[in-house]
C-alpha cells in the first residue's frame, strides 16, 4: 500500500517528504513549552499552551496599566498589551525566538494573538493604518527582519484589512534613551524617529505596534513624531508587558 501511494506522488514530493522526516529526526519541531510534537509548520507552541498563555485582557479595561504609563506624558486614545512578560516564562522564550533566533513564526504567532484579541474591538479594530515601531538598519540586517513589521503582517492576515504604514523610520544617530531622563527624551524625540509621507496620516486613526513595552519611552517618542502629522487618534498595542 505504501509503495502504491508513493507512486502517486511525483519524485520531488517523495524526496521532500524523506528530507522533512530526516530534518525532523535531528531538529524535531516541538512545542516550546510542553514538547508536544503535533504542530503545524507555522506553530511554535501547541494549541493547549497557546490557550494557557498569561493573557492580560487589558483591552476590556478602561484606564488599564498600559494607558496609565502614558498619563501626563502624551495623549493617546487607547493602549493595551496582550500578555504578561515574566522572567523564565514561555512568553520570554517566544520573545527570545523572535529577537535572537530569527524565528519568524514567533512574530506570526504574536500578530495573530493581537488580531484575535483586538480586531473586533471598536477601540482598536476601527483603524486606518497599522504602524510598526521601526528598528535600525543595522539591527534589521542582523535579525533579517523587523519584528514589529512581522507582527503587523500577521495582523493583516488575520482580519486587519488596512495598510501598514512604513514612513516612520528610525533616525540614524539617535542617542541611547537610557542615558537621558524623560524630559530630555521628549525634547529630543525627533532625533529617534523620522516621519516620511506624514500627510498620509493627517486625520487618520493609527494603531501603533511594538513587541514589548517596559517604560513606554520608545512608544512615547514614536507618538510625538506621529502627532506632527495631526492624526485623528493614536492607539497602541504591544505583545507583552514587563511590569515591575
CB of 97 to Zn ion, least distance (A): 14
CB of 154 to Zn ion, least distance (A): 20
Is 46 one of the binding residues for Zn ion (CB under 5 A)? yes
Judged by CB under 5 A, the residue of 9, 14, 15, 34 near Zn ion is 34
The region of 35-43, 186-194, 208-216, 218-226 touching Zn ion under the rule CB under 5 A is 35-43
Is 31 one of the binding residues for Zn ion (CB under 5 A)? yes
Is 53 one of the binding residues for Zn ion (CB under 5 A)? no
DSSP string, the chain: -HHHHHHHS-HHHHHHHHHHHHHHHHS----TTT------TT-SS-HHHHHTS-B--GGG-TT-HHHHHHTTT---SEEEEEEEE-TTSHHHHHHHHHHHS--HHHHHHHHHHHHHHHTT-HHHHS-SEEEEPP--HHHHHHHSS-HHHHHHHHHHHTT--SPBP--EEE-TTPPPGGGS-HHHHHHTGGGTEEESSGGGGTT-EEEEEEEEESSSHHHHHHHHHHHTT--SEEEEEEEEEE--
Is 28 one of the binding residues for Zn ion (CB under 5 A)? no
The region of 8-16, 46-54, 157-165, 186-194 touching Zn ion under the rule CB under 5 A is 46-54
Q: Applying CB under 5 A, which residues contact Zn ion?
A: 31, 33-34, 36, 46, 49
Amino acid at each position: 500500500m505504501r509503495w502504491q501511494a508513493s507512486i502517486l506522488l511525483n519524485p520531488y514530493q517523495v524526496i521532500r517528504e524523506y528530507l522533512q522526516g530526516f530534518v525532523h529526526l535531528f531538529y524535531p519541531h516541538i512545542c516550546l513549552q510542553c514538547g508536544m510534537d503535533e504542530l503545524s509548520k507555522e506553530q511554535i507552541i501547541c494549541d493547549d499552551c497557546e490557550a494557557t498563555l498569561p493573557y492580560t485582557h487589558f483591552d476590556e479595561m478602561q484606564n488599564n496599566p498600559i494607558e496609565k504609563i502614558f498619563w501626563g506624558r502624551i495623549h493617546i486614545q487607547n493602549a493595551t498589551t496582550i500578555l504578561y512578560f515574566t522572567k523564565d516564562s514561555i512568553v520570554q522564550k517566544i520573545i527570545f525566538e523572535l529577537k535572537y533566533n530569527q524565528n519568524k513564526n514567533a512574530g506570526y504567532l504574536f500578530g495573530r494573538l493581537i488580531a484575535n484579541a483586538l480586531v473586533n474591538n471598536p477601540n482598536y479594530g476601527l483603524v486606518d493604518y497599522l504602524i510598526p515601531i521601526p528598528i535600525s538598519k543595522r539591527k534589521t540586517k542582523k535579525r533579517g527582519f523587523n519584528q514589529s513589521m512581522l507582527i503587523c503582517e500577521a495582523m493583516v492576515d488575520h482580519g486587519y484589512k488596512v495598510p501598514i504604514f512604513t514612513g516612520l523610520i528610525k533616525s540614524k544617530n539617535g542617542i541611547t534613551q537610557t542615558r537621558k531622563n524623560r524630559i530630555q527624551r521628549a525634547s529630543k524625540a525627533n532625533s529617534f524617529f523620522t516621519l516620511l509621507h506624514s500627510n498620509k496620516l493627517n486625520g487618520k486613526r493609527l494603531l501603533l505596534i511594538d513587541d514589548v513595552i517596559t517604560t513606554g519611552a520608545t512608544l512615547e517618542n514614536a507618538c510625538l513624531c506621529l502627532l506632527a502629522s495631526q492624526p485623528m487618534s493614536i492607539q497602541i498595542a504591544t505583545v507583552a508587558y514587563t511590569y515591575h
